[in-house]
Chain A
Amino acid sequence: MNARQGAFQGAFRGTFAVALLLVASVPLWVPGSYYISVASEVLIYAIFTLSVDLLIGYAGLVSLGHGGLFSLAAYTVAVCLGAGFGHFSAILLAIAITLAGTAVFAALSLRTTGVGFIMITLALGQIMWGLAYRWVGLTGGDNGISVASRPAPFGVTLATPAHFYDATLIVFALCLFAYWMFVNSAFGASLKGTRDQPRRMSALGYDVWLIRFCAFMFSGFLAAVAGILFAYRAEFISPPTAALTASAEPVLMAISGGSGTILGPVVGALLVEIVKNVASAYISRWNMMLGAIFVLIVMFMPEGLVPGTARLVRRLRARRSKAPAT
């Protein structure tokens, strides 16, 4: 059994290394700058999905308002750049403002859990959408705002899709590493404790509310990073970025990939983005597909594609190892 497990782990590591190589060399083998840009979008959504799944998978809280935080960061960057700020201060300000917004979101929505949490985050997210849509003086309303230029860290311009992809990949790797540290830390364990046994955690002397609040803040930080990258990638931001669809997509990505795992959200983001881009090339009914995928996945593979497939593989493996004995 051990040898088998070792082989399995080895195979897993091999696959992982190949995947890593493929991801790192995207600008070299992906045809055309459009697809490199799509690859950047996948990474940005992966960060965003990690942000949402920190709450779904590790805290047991489903947020349908993260589009509000994501777009808050994106809008802040666009507005600051429009007002003549430099890139560095615009990015810092976007993170600071989004964290402040996250604190408000968290303080209100953590008054409840479960369904109440979903309702409050949804209402808050829609209020951010209303702000983006109605506050024409600041946000440009329906017309949105364009972002004049991309930053050039250490003198490297990010204007080309390939360079932008590389920068996004570095940020993504840092986020993934921070995420991995976070969920595997003692704090991550206590967060899972509040998900499974909030009363016992409370009885043990943990401040359940504070643990959830801190997780929400980290989630807001990741959403801010994703939002900033989004604004720079598209070089444009408009109210649909804050719409309910934008909040629902990462939830779908997290659930389809397998929530509560580290790679699940990344795979989910990849899958949904591929479906979205392929679908939009043939039909203009993305919302219809999004809804249908949502319904199908929730009905038939509620644990997600990564754990679902893992379960299938395990079952097949068990059957195969049993076969000689019988």
Chain B
Amino acid sequence: MAPLRAITPGVSMWTILAINSVTFGGLLFLLSAGFSLIFGLMRVPNLTHGSMFMLGGYIGSTAIVTWHLPFWLAAALAAAAVAVFGGVVERLLLRRLAGSVLAQVLVTLGIAFMVSDFCLMVWGGDPISIDTPSALSGGTRTLGVYFPTYRIAIILIAVVIAALLWALLERTRLGAMIRAGVDDPEMARVVGIRVSRLFTVVFCLGAALAGFGGIMGAPILSVYPGLDFAMLPLALVVVILGGTGSLIGSLVGSIVIGFIYNFGLVLLPQLAYFILFLPMVVVLVLRPQGLFGRAAP
């Protein structure tokens, strides 16, 4: 994870660092939005979420490198494959443990270990890095600052997905049903919403977003064993920071963590992971439910 290659000192370095931070924030949003949605609806912290991110990266990279698919097709394939994986996990395992949150958490953890070992077995221990899609390689120089196109594209995609998710949740019938399920699952069932089907839909959606984030991040972060458990705590910290089940919370949390992580990497490389702790401490002390979360019922 080395977002910066050549550092030219001065203003442009800070600008590049800021762009990288927002880019990383965009990737974190793809990861944490699904995590937050799943948590909001099912009350289960999905500990396979980092694995889904990594799985998306591996499947997408294989599609590009081995099968020579175009980048966007590979990305769609990765998202779809991870969505199917998420659906299977939800239907076959989590469904049977309905009502026992602890058991569900431990099962997702067990699956995370299995996926991690499975990926090591299939893709080996060497990192896989892929090129940025050719249409988005290079960059533009404006006002003396170099803007890499791919990173800007990630930011735009994250914004578009945030807007789509917002529209889905606030403007569609499905979104209204999901919100009803989040607010009061029993009442939602009483009025005829099939909450268990919503669980599957949301789980697949969250998985697809994570998988998509994995392949989008691959040209920047590369895909390597351990990526899953490096990303999982970031998603947790974002959600602890932003508040569970809140879309705007994961967006703001992702950008804050993106900034802290990237600036930390450059300014205090040995402690980069450690300083993620600081915003978490502040939020937990001052506002345990997170910046945009509601107080626990």
Contact = CB atoms under 8 A, between A and B. Distances in A.
Nearest to A295: B110
Contact of B239 (A119, A130, A135, A285): A119
B112 interface: yes
B6 interface: no
A34 B97 CA distance: 41
Contacts of A112: 288, 296
Contact of A294 (B102, B106, B116, B233): B106
Q: What size tier do the contact residues of chain B reach?
A: 35 or more
Contacts of A288: 113-114, 117-118, 121
B63 interface: no
30 contacts: A62-B106, A108-B285, A114-B101, A115-B105, A116-B296, A118-B45, A119-B45, A120-B280, A122-B47, A123-B240, A126-B232, A126-B236, A130-B233, A135-B271, A137-B270, A244-B229, A245-B113, A251-B106, A285-B121, A287-B113, A288-B113, A288-B114, A288-B118, A291-B116, A292-B114, A294-B110, A295-B111, A295-B114, A298-B103, A298-B110
A182 B5 CA distance: 55
A111 interface: yes
Chain A contact residues, majority secondary structure: helix
A136 B269 CA distance: 10
Interface of A: 62, 64, 108, 111-112, 114-116, 118-120, 122-124, 126-127, 129-131, 133-137, 243-245, 248, 251, 255, 285-288, 290-295, 298-299, 302
A108 to B, nearest CB: 5
Contact of A119 (B117, B236, B296): B236
B281 interface: yes
B218 interface: no
Given A243-B229, A299-B93, A299-B97, A119 B106 contact: no
B273 A130 contact: yes
Nearest to B239: A119
A292 B110 CA distance: 6
A292 B109 CA distance: 10
Interface of B: 39, 43-45, 47, 93, 96-97, 100-103, 105-107, 109-118, 120-121, 229, 232-233, 236-237, 239-240, 269-274, 276-277, 280-281, 284-285, 288, 296
Contact of A126 (B233, B269, B271): B233
Contact of B274 (A111, A119, A130, A136): A130
Given A111-B284, A133-B273, A291-B110, 17 more contacts: A62-B105, A111-B285, A115-B44, A115-B45, A120-B240, A123-B280, A131-B274, A134-B270, A134-B274, A135-B271, A255-B106, A288-B118, A291-B116, A294-B113, A298-B103, A299-B96, A299-B97
A78 to B, nearest CB: 17
B127 to A, nearest CB: 14
Contacts of A116: 288, 296
A292 B233 CA distance: 22
Contacts of A134: 269-274
Contact of A287 (B96, B116, B271): B116
Contacts of B45: 115, 118-119
A45 to B, nearest CB: 17
Nearest to A132: B273
Contacts of B236: 119-120, 122-123, 126
A285 B274 contact: no
Query: Which among B113, B271, B273, B274 has the highest number of chain A CB atoms within 10 Å?
Result: B113
Nearest to A296: B110
A130 B270 CA distance: 9
A74 B106 CA distance: 26
B53 to A, nearest CB: 15
Contacts of B111: 291, 295
A34 B153 CA distance: 56
B240 A64 contact: no
A284 to B, nearest CB: 9
Nearest to B106: A298
A295 B273 CA distance: 30
A293 B106 CA distance: 11
Contacts of B43: 115
A302 B113 contact: no
Contacts of A124: 277
A68 to B, nearest CB: 11
B121 A131 contact: no
A287 B114 contact: yes
A127 B296 contact: no
A131 B232 CA distance: 16
Nearest to A248: B109
Closest 4 CB pairs of A and B: A130-B273, A294-B110, A291-B113, A291-B114
Contacts of B269: 134
Contacts of A290: 110, 113
B206 to A, nearest CB: 16
A211 B134 CA distance: 60
Query: Which among B39, B106, B118 has the highest number of chain A CB atoms within 10 Å?
Result: B106
A251 B47 CA distance: 15
Nearest to A108: B284
